[in-house]
Amino acid sequence: MEILSSTQGLLFTLLLKVGVAASIAALLARWAVFRRVLYTEVRDSDQKVKLLLFLTPVLAISVLLRLVGTPYQFADLMTEGSFLLGLLGGLVVGPLGGSIVSLPAFFHHEWLSTPVAAIAGLMGGLIRQAIPNKEDIWNFGPFTFLNLPRWLARMMRGSELGWEVLPLAGCVALEVGRLLLGHAVRLSWLFFIDAHNWWSVLLLMLATVMAVAVPIKIWNNTRIEMNLEQHQQLLLKARMDALSSQINPHFLFNTLNTVASLIRYDPDQARVVVLKLGNILRRLLRKHETFVALQEELNFIDDYLDIEVARFGRDNLQIFKHVDQKTLEAFVPSMLLQPIVENSLKHGLAAKLEGGQITIRTALSDGRLIIEVEDNGAGIPEERMPQVYVDGIGISNVQERLRVLYGNDFRLQISSRKGAGTLIRIEVPELVSEMPGASAN
């Protein structure tokens, strides 16, 4: 191979290399099939084959371009692409894809190209296997190395590790290994860009990191867009469910009966109930919302529960709220609490003749918003608890919307004792700035 010695030429080549990686990533992200493969974190055999079919041809072409001549050395992404295949596809896709990508170089008598590419793919697959939550892979970015001091401090304190450091270490190890191997064997056996001083080595390592991290960031943005689209669909379905089942004709019928009864002996209270029912219907029928302030969500629940108190009577249903004022500006998914409160009334307190209580609590803790809804109703039998997350329409809908919106960064826990009541606890990141799709009256 011809060794690049010019400092200017080295920097120019590395910049072009990162540009090629970003261009390939952006081009592939335009394909709907490829986006679906990226969106599915646990991939079956068909999706792994699709991943290979999308990535290996363009990576093999990048090797062919480099073989055309010295001016196109920047195009070669064999090692970085093989590592990326392993990081996204696993222990089989990585080595297999790397071997396929390296074939043009191998047939050009670069005998070590296939073993190096296969090892790079294997290393990516091992790193993927080592990371417990695969979503953490998408946290790897071009400037992850800037977090190294903070990561080291966290490690010394015994805190949870930042798993995105593993791909960073893998990229650095690959580039250092390629340099050492390239100097140890005949130059024609393996292509590598040489470095003659320490800062050139740093530039090479940075370029390798960027060539892997930039595509991940581009594709992660695509995944986030797909998450938001799916959340919009789920939210629309939730709104339709609220109109057709949760705020259902039976609820309206009972409310109107309550109003008819109140008109005879308490017209003022009847007027209040009608106004609150109007607030509920107005909220459900107005423009589609993704997020609302917790204050607005609690106001909606107040209207809903005030109607239920009017129906059951204040002695039969009591509402308690312990709300931290600091939480009121935090944003939460629209229609988050109503299905949970409705479940407490319908399944927990419906059979209780007197003394029914619902308690709503909110708090902030370490940048997390905590919401609890507790009742003193019938409770859930222990044998039914695993099915609540699946069979319960309201709970399953809330959990799925939280999963789509927050990924794995949320908790929904249900604790219950038969005859003693049920506690539902939601924990999500605190969002205090205006969110896309947030309520705007």
Enter the pTM of the model: 0.58
**Domains of the chain, first to last:** 7-225 (no CATH), 287-429 (3.30.565.10)
> Strand 331-333 and strand 291-293: pairing?
antiparallel
- For the stretch 114-156, pLDDT in tens is 999 999 999 999 999 998 888 888 888 888 777 777 777 766 7
Percent over 90 (pLDDT), the chain: 31
Say what the alpha-carbon torsion angle 330, 332, 335, 337 is, to the nearest 10 degrees: -80
What is the rounded distance in angstroms from the CA atom of residue 179 to the CA atom of residue 396?
52
Looking at 340-395, which runs of residues are DSSP E strands?
356-365, 368-375
Q: Which two tokens stand for residue 368?
A: 């997390």
Q: At what angle do helices 198-241 and 393-406 cross, to 10 degrees?
A: 160
Q: What pLDDT does 436 receive?
A: 43
> What is the rounded average pLDDT of the residues 30-51?
87
Q: What is the DSSP letter of 438?
A: B
pLDDT of residue 186: 80
- What confidence tier does 246 reach under pLDDT thresholds 50, 70, 90? very low
Average pLDDT, integer, range 283-293: 71
